[in-house]
Amino acid sequence: MTTSSAPGKIILFGEHAVVYGRPALAVPVAQVHADVEILASDLTGIWIHAPGVNLHAELNTLPFDHPIASVIRNFFFLARRSSFPNGRGARGEGKSPNLQINITSSIPVASGLGSGAAVTVALVRALSSHLNHPMTDEDINSFAYDIEKLHHGRPSGIDNTVVAYAKPVYFVKGQPIEVFKVGKPLTIVIGDTGISAPTKESVADVRKLWEADNTKWESMFDKVGEIAKHAREEIEIGDWRLLGELMNRNHALLQEMTVSSPELDTLVEAARKAGAVGAKLSGGGRGGNMIALAEAEKADDISFALISAGAKNTIVARIS
């Protein structure tokens, strides 16, 4: 049996503008994760069990664009092309092995916490290890980016990168990844609106705005990029006060981009009132999650305030 796990993620600064080449900061969230277990099976074929999405099926019965099936098919395509070094029945044109793949995830779907990227990374890592087809983190990241492109239109690549490396990343599309230091541990309270909102849609809507008025939105993205750069410096030196202010400013720009929602704004406001240093939506927006920077001793109060204001769930994450 082979097992593998990949964390969720939050974007601290720079979502959406990152699609247009501006920097963004993202960190892994270990409290939520996708887990994959692979076993040899007595049944013929590749059987996938993902109870969280009510999936119990043999690979060949799933449609071409099914997110989990596309990961497995792409893996076999790639592995056959380069051939398995010591493949267990999967070399060249040979038959695929009989497998049972169990997938579980505690990351809510379409909530800005990187659930799709985490399932892809955990699954491909488990397949590569079970079938003895070694892949580096870089290989896994580039594989996961190809899968993100299949399902999410024009992703920047930040989600798969932070999930594949499981480290805080300062990300600029198309450039080598930079891991950033966290000068003083950050306590982040994550509040879930409970509204699932596909990133693909908010990214497509921002693109329409950008196409309609390139100059205006390029300058908006520049402002977000400057905030992300500045935030990295503050995180590295550990100055929280300014960081909170930068989060608030980033949220205001995301509101202008039309990707916030009344529910997100309510939670952001509730967190600030409960003493958060700063708060903003995180990820694609329109629903999903918001984040609040907190002093460690205030995290429970902020969490309570978020639940009272309608959050379906909260997570207190410590980033160090």
Q: Which residues are catalytic?
A: 159
Give SS3 for 174: coil
Residue 19 makes contact with ligand MEV by CB under 6 A: yes
Find the DSSP H helices in 186-287: 199-212, 214-237, 240-256, 262-273
Span 182-241, contacts to ligand MEV by CB under 6 A: 199, 203
Smaller CB separation from ligand MEV, 112 or 278? 112
Contact between 159 and ligand MEV by CB under 6 A: the answer reads yes
Structural tokens at position 8: 């969720």
x/- track of binding to ligand MEV for residues 118-157 (CB under 6 A): -------------------------------------xx-
Q: Is the dihedral of CA 143, 198, 51, 114 positive or negative?
A: positive
Residues 25 and 224: their CA atoms lie apart, in Å, by: 11
CA angle 151, 312, 300 (to 5 degrees): 120
| 209 or 307: CB nearest ligand MEV | 209
* Residue selected from 6, 11, 71, 227 as contacting ligand MEV according to rule CB under 6 A: 11
Alpha-carbon distance of 249 to 231, in angstroms, equals 11
- Strand bridging mode 99-105 / 46-50: parallel
Write out the H or E segment, with its range, that includes residue 279: strand 278-282
Q: Which is nearer to ligand MEV, 45 or 194 (CB)?
A: 194
Which one, 16 or 133, has the nearer CB to ligand MEV? 16
Q: Which of 4, 8, 13, 15 binds ligand MEV (CB under 6 A)?
A: 15
Binding span for ligand MEV by CB under 6 A among 9-17, 70-78, 95-103, 216-224? 9-17
Give contact residues for ligand MEV (rule: CB under 6 A).
Answer: 11, 15-16, 18-19, 112, 155-156, 158-159, 199, 203, 283-284
